Amino acid sequence: MARHIGIQFFIACAAAIIGCTSEQTVQPIAYNPPPAHAFTALELVPDSLWIPQGAEVQVFAVARDQWGQTMDVAGPVSYASSAPAIAAVNGSGLVTAVAPGTAAVSATVTIGEYTRNAVMTATVFDSAASDTVVFTSSSSYGWQPPSGIVKAGGIVVWRIGPDGLWSGGYSQEAKIYLFDMNGLFLDSLYLNNGSVTHTFAAPGVYQFCSGGCWDPPDGGVIYVH
């Protein structure tokens, strides 16, 4: 009899548990949509120009949201120059170096309810080419001058200044890396004795950098005419 009562009690308890479980309501998980992207900042790339008279350089407007991520620029970009007689810019962002001097090139973009602008400095220098161009490193200012013009068949010299490279210090492993304007790697040159030379036979625009090649002071531009 006691056993029968125990079994009944177990069945009753189990039924009670099942009944309670079946009556419970499953709460849906609340969905919180991610915050909308807000147009927070506008940048010009590159952020400055040092170009010879007569050269043309394309600049681009880059929009960023509140997290620093790039956004699509769906609308038009308005470009302007503070001194078109020095550096003119067209509606597509193509900057033309007209005469020696300095001009401010700006871009304005509207995305939704937000309008942002960005400004960069364009410096135009005399385009006379020489047979030899010398770049000297500085730990404070990087390679100086930041760009140079050499005749086709001319020589470019890189020298490490007394205070080392902008990226810090100097070692026997320091190199100069050469690229074309599309970023295609061309050559690497060891600064074994504190200097190195290279002959540029073909006309064109070349980029160089040293150290980690992370920051603009670690490099420069060579125009070969």
Q: What is the pLDDT of residues 181-218, one digit of tens each?
A: 888 999 999 987 889 999 999 988 899 998 777 766 78
Side chain identity at residue 180, one-letter code: D
CA–CA distance, 36 with 44 (Å, rounded to integer): 24
Query: Which residue would you say has higher pLDDT here, 2 or 157?
Result: 157
The domain ranges of the chain are: 41-125, 130-224
Q: Bridge partners of 117?
A: 108
| Cβ(210)–Cβ(176) below 8 Å | yes
211: CB partners within 8 A, 6+ apart: 165, 166, 167, 168, 174, 218
Q: pTM of the full predicted structure?
A: 0.51
CATH number of 130-224: 2.60.40.420
* Selection from 140, 122, 142, 135 nearest residue 213 by Cα: 142
Side chain identity at residue 44, one-letter code: L
Q: What is the pLDDT of residues 96-133, one digit of tens each?
A: 999 988 899 999 999 888 899 999 999 888 878 889 99
Q: What is the pLDDT of residues 49-82, one digit of tens each?
A: 878 888 898 999 999 998 888 888 877 999 999 9
CA–CA distance, 223 with 152 (Å, rounded to integer): 9
Second-level CATH architecture of 41-125: Sandwich (2.60)
> What pLDDT was estimated at residue 103?
94
